[in-house]
Structure formats: C-alpha cells, structure tokens
Amino acid sequence: MQYSGFKVIKEALTGHKGWKPAWRDPDPKPHYDIVIIGGGGHGLATAHYLASVFDRHKVAVIEKGWIGGGNVGRNTTIIRSNYLLDGNEPFYEFSLKLWEGLEQDLNYNAMVSQRGIMNLIHSDAQRDAFIRRGNAMILNGADAEYLDLAQIKKEYPFLNFDDARFPIKGGLAQRRGGTVRHDAVAWGYARAADRRGVDIIQNCEVTGFRIENGNCLGVETSRGFIGAGRVGCAVAGNSSRLMAKAGMRLPIESHVLQAFVSEGLKPVLPGVITFGAGHFYVSQSDKGGLVFGGDIDGYNSYAQRGNLPVVEDVCEGGMAIMPMIGRARLLRMWGGIMDMSMDGSPIIDRTHVDGLYFNGGWCYGGFKATPASGYAFAHLLARDEPHATATAYRFDRFRTGHMIDEKGMGNQPNLH
C-alpha cells in the first residue's frame, strides 16, 4: 500500500477501513540467505538496502522484543556529519545524503528536519580544533560554516552572553544537520523492507549460533533454529553478550547514556545546539519538547537507566548556556545502552567465523549513522567486501595501530 496525502484523505472519508498493518507478522522460515540479528534502526536499514539495492529478498530480521525498541527508540534524534577524521567523515556524509532522500526512498515520512546543528566554541584551542574539523568536513564534500560571536548572538539571542563562566567565542555550524522523528525511522525501514519481502520476526531471541568447522550455519532462537547463508549482528549495546555466544571478546564496553525531554513548549530553538564547555546538547521536537542530553554515566551498565549526578551535570550545562530553560519542566528521563568502542568509532567487519558478520561499536552516535550503517552492512553481507566509505571500520585496526580516535581519548571507552 502506497502512503500519500490522497490516501489519507480517501481513508478519512471511508472510515479508515483500508489501512493494513505496516508490516506482516510472519513465522520464521527454516532458512534464509541472510539473517540479521537485531530489529533496531541499523538491522532494519540493513534489511531494506539488502532488498532494495542489493536485490536480496530471502532475508529475515529477528528481534528479541519489539522492533525499534533499542537505541533507535531512545535517542536524541540528531543527524549530522561534522566529523574530523578521514576514516569517519566520508561515511557520515554518505549517511547524511541518504537521510536527505529518505522519505521518498521509504514512502514514509520520518520528518527529516535539516534545521542545522551549532557547536559552540568557548576557547581559542577549541576554535583551532573546530576550524580544523570544519575544513576536514568541506574537504570531504560536506558543508560547514564558521560563525563569529556577532553571528551567534544574532541567530541565538537567548544564549547566555551576559554572565557566562566560559564565554561563547564563536561556533561551527552544519546547516544540513538536524533531527529526525526517531521511531519513524525504524518503522519506515521495517515497512519498506517488509514490502520487499523481508521477514521481520519480533519476540524471537537468539540463544546461540550454530557453528561447524569455522562456518556459521544459522542461529538457534527461542522460536527454533533458523538456517542462514550469512548472519549479520547489529545489536548495539548487547554486542558483547551476543558475540560471546560465538566465542568472541570485543573491543567494546556497554555504557548507559541518559536522555531527557521537557514538557511541550511553543517553538524556541531553531536547531540543534551543543555547549562546548560542558555536557549539554539540545534540540526541540516537532511536538515542542526540548530533547536534550549530555555525557554518559561513565560506568559499565546494561540497566537502561542512569543516576542523578549525570542528570544534574547535564542540567547544569543547560542552565549555564541557556538560563531561560530554568522554569521549563523536565518531563521524562531514560537510558540506553551504548556500545562504546575503544576509539569511539564503529566496526563493520567480518569475524573469525565464516558467514558471521558484525556491526557495532557505535557509541552514542549510532542514530545519525543508521542509513549508511545499513547500506554499508548490506554491502558487506551481499558482496563480502566493505563499502567504500566504511573500509576503516575493521576489528584489526587496534592490532595494527590504525585507531580512529576523534576525541583523542585512547583506549578508555567511557571517555569517548
């Protein structure tokens, strides 16, 4: 069924009888060409591109709970490609381009909203670093714009220019950055993949891999064995748990990141704003809520909830840079499990087991990467070779010393 304004009107006039389920609810088949573990944004996007770009249709996405229930359903919805390093920037720019055509590709309105992202600058050293980054973005074909204090004041008059502990000195903007209705991304990819024959199987938990002399033959699940030519794992925060079943230790720690939303407010923020002298970034949703976040709690956790010190840290940052939000009310706080890698960059690679492929280590930056991650993982699963923009995302980069460390924090995941 094709969605459109006309369809909506037609259904409205005929009592909405015609709407069908957005995706089927199939039972697992005994065998698929490709089985993707994880019905989150990345897994569903992978399935969509496998079917739509790489012409693979015997594909299943298996999800232990309900689709879109992982980080794609609990993030702060920001998209951007403002990266510094060559290993990253082309990939995230590719992702941003895919976002830009997403509605038409999926026939689903995920409300991609390129309202821009502004990284505020508070020191000379930070300015040098952001100028280097802005240049890297432009040299990689992305857009970047340096704003001086006067321009910042003009565009964001409500920021704290009067008594700031760390005065604003400028900012680096990416106008093509913005936000997306996060749940709709999962639903849109799921529906599009389903329409091309992909089986999306919810409430089906993987209990193990069937591996015989170095080959992965499929997965054992709570709904029986499912054979597969190739198995792709895209389970974000649960990566270590899952891959342990295949005897792997990963360069990943799972950490909790909290996010926050305020009560609905009349529009106040033009786009995404990040505070450079504290842990705070914020945007405003189409419903009017201020969606904001900050740093991870900093300790290993699978609990999907955090603690007060970080909540306070984030709100201190918010009040420092944007003291007008003091009387806005925090409506809800929640936590997600981040697959924090050892250099802050992801992994899309084969494993030591033939037929078993891995996609993870997204830290807290996985949402914006969803389209490119799906596309690159589909490329790897379909052709057994990495996509051009993802060649650096290998397991062995730590062995060879080719880390992709945007923040320069080294092998301490909670600092990335």
Partner 1 sequence: MIIHHPLLGPRDSAEFVYLGAAALMDRPDPETASADDWHDYAYLRDNPAGPHRELWFHEGGDRSILIVTRDTTTHEITDVALARPAGAQI
Partner 2 sequence: MTQTNRLDGGQIDRDATLSFTFDGKTYAGHPGDTLASALLANNVRLMGRSFKYHRPRGPLTAGSEEPNALVELRSGARQEPNTRATTAELFDGLSAKSQNRWPSLAFDAMAINDRLSNFLTAGFYYKTFMWPAAFWEKLYEPIIRKAAGLGSLSMQADPDAYDKGFRHCDLLIIGAGPAGLSAALTAARAGKHVILADEDFRMGGRLNAETFAIADMAAADWAAQIIAELCTMPNVRLMPRTTVIGAFDHGIYGAVERISDHLAIPPAGKPRQILWRVNAQQCLLCAGATERPIAFENNDRPGIMLAASMRAYANRWATTPARRVAIFTNNDDGHRTAQDLHAKGVKIAAVIDTRPDAQRSHDYEVLQGAQVKDTKGRLGLTFVEVAQADGSSRTVECGALGVSGGWNPNVHLTCHQRGRPTWDDGLAAFVPGGTLPPGMTVAGAANGALSTHGALQSGRDAARKALGLKGRAPAVPKAEDAPVNQSPFWYVQGCSRAWLDQQNDVTVKDVKLSHQEGFRSVEHLKRYTTLGMATDQGKTSNMGGLAIMAELAGKSIHEVGTTIFRPPYTPMAIGALAGRMRGKEFHPTRLTPSHFWAKERGAVFVEVGNWLRAQWFPLPGETHWRQSVDREVTATRASVGVCDCTTLGKIDVQGSDAATFLNKIYCNGFAKLAVGKTRYGLMLREDGIAMDDGTAGRLAEDQFVVTTTTANAAKVYQHMEFVRQCLMPDADVQLISTTEAWAQYAVAGPNSRRLLQKIVDADHDISNEGFPFMGCANITVCGGLRARLFRISFSGELAFEIAVPSRYGDALMRRLMVEGEEFDVTPYGTEALGVMRIEKGHAAGNELNGTTTALNLGMGRMVSKAKDSIGSKLSERPGLNQADALMQVGLRPINADHKVTAGGHLMNATGPVDAAHDQGYVTSAAYSPALGCMIGLGFLKDGGNRLRERLRLVSPVTDLTVEVVVVSAHFIDPEGERVRA
Contacting partner 1 within 297-336 (CB under 8 A): 298-303, 307, 309
Give the separation between CA 37 and CA 52, rounded to whole angstroms. Answer: 19
71 binds partner 1 (CB under 8 A): no
> Residue 82 and residue 14: Cα distance in Å, rounded?
47
Asked if residue 393 binds partner 2 (CB under 8 A), the reply is: no
Which partner, partner 2, partner 1, none, binds residue 108 by CB below 5 to 8 Å per kind? Answer: partner 2
Nearer to partner 1, 203 or 412 (CB): 412
Q: Is residue 294 involved in binding partner 1 (CB under 8 A)?
A: no
Among partner 2, partner 1, none, residue 14 binds (CB under 5-8 Å by kind) = none
Tell the smallest beta-carbon distance from residue 350 to partner 1 (Å): 17
Structure tokens at 67: 């689709």
> What is the pattern of x (binds partner 1, CB under 8 A) and - over residues 252-271?
xxx-----------------
16 binds, among partner 2, partner 1, none (CB under 5 to 8 A by kind): partner 2
Q: Which does 151 bind (CB under 5 to 8 A by kind): partner 2, partner 1, none?
A: none
Binding of partner 1 at residue 406 (CB under 8 A)?
no
Q: Which helix (H) or strand (E) holds 128?
A: helix 124-139
- List, in order, residues 6 or more apart from 127 with CB less than 8 Å away: 121, 169, 170
Site map 97..126 versus partner 2, x via CB under 8 A: ----x-xx--xxxxxxxx-------xx-x-
CB of 39 or CB of 374, closer to partner 2: 39
Q: Side chain identity at 258, as an amino acid letter?
A: Q
Q: What kind and span of H or E run contains 125? A: helix 124-139
Please select the residue that binds partner 2; options are 32, 130, 358, 375, rule is CB under 8 A.
Answer: 130
What DSSP string describes 150-206? Answer: HHHHHH-TTS--SS-SS---EEEEETT-EE--HHHHHHHHHHHHHHTT-EEE-S--E
Q: Which is nearer to partner 1, 69 or 298 (CB)?
A: 298
Q: How far is CA 105 from CA 101, 109, 179, 185, 192, in A?
A: 6, 10, 18, 12, 8
Cα–Cα distance, 387 to 46 (Å, whole number)? 13
User: What does each C-alpha distance from 88 to 131, 148, 303, 404 come to in angstroms?
Assistant: 17, 26, 29, 8
Contact positions with partner 2 (CB under 8 A) in 25-54:
25
Q: Are 290 and 284 in contact (CB under 8 A)?
A: yes
Residues 155, 270 contacting (CB under 8 angstroms): yes
Nearer to partner 2, 75 or 355 (CB): 75
**Contact with partner 2 (CB under 8 A): which of 227, 320, 391, 414?**
320
Residues that bind partner 1 (CB under 8 A): 238, 240-241, 249-254, 298-303, 307, 309, 342, 398-399, 411-414
